[in-house]
Amino acid sequence: MLLPALEGMNALIDGISISTAPEVIHIQSSSPLTVLSSAVTGGGFRRARHILNFHVEKGYQCDDPAADLRARASQLGVNESFIGLMTAVYLHKARSAFFQADGLSAGAVVSAGVSNATCAGLTPPFSYAPGTINIILLLNARLTRGAMLNAFITATEAKCAILQARNVRTAGDDPATGTSTDTLTVAITGAGVLQQYAGPVTTIGWLIAGAVRQALDESLSAS
C-alpha cells in the first residue's frame, strides 16, 4: 500500500521503491545505498538497502529501542543491515517532494511533529516529549563523504528556515530549530559525476533544500 501523500516519490529513482502502512514507511533499494544517518539503528556511514520509519505510540518507552527496531524489521522480512527510525507522528501525515536539475535529483520523505520543539543552545537538557522530525533524503547522485556532511548541513538549514517561517516556538517561547529527537538520513545511489560539495548554492544542495522545505512544510500542515 502507498499513502497518497507519498505516491509521487515512488519509482522516481530507478531501483528505489516506497511502501507504506499505518505503522511503517519502508524505503527499499535494489542495490545498496551509501548512507549517512543519525538514526536509532544504522547510524553513521554505512551501506544499506532498507530504510524503515516506524510509528510508535506517544507513551512509547523501551530500554533497548535498537533491539525493538530489529524485531520490527524482522517481522517485515528485513534481516540484513537497515536504517531504523521511529516517530510518534501518525504516518499518514508524512509527505514527500522530488526535485531534479542538471542530471541530479533529490527526494525528501518527511514525517514531522513539533510538540517537542527545541531551540539549540537555549532548551536545556533533557526535555523529552513525543514529537519528532524525521527527514530521509534520497539522492540520485554521487557525493564525497564531505559532500554528504554538507548535505546534512543544508537539509538542517532548510528545516530551521521552515520552522522559523511557521513561527514554531518551544515551551519556553524561544524560536524552534527542531525537536530533541530529530533524525536525518542521507542516502545516495552513487550515480553520475562526483559532487565535491552539497552546500545550499550548489545544484545538489539547492535540490536538497527545496525538497526538504516542501516536504516538511506539507507534513506540518497535514491533519
In DSSP terms, 26 is beta-bridged to 19, 52
Residue appearing with cell numbers 532498507: 50
Average pLDDT over residues 155-181: 96
Q: Which position has the grid cell 515512488?
A: 10
**Would you state the pLDDT for residue 2?**
40
Looking at the structure of the chain, the number of domains it has is 1
Task: Tell me what pLDDT residue 66 has.
Answer: 92
Mean pLDDT (whole number) for 115-121 = 92
Q: What is the widest separation between alpha-carbon atoms in the chain? A: 46
> Any idea what the CATH number is for the domain that residue 31 is in?
3.60.70.12
Tell me the residue range of the domain where 176 lies. 4-221
pLDDT tens digits, residue range 56-96?
A: 988 788 889 999 999 999 999 999 999 999 999 999 999 99
Cell for 111?
514525517
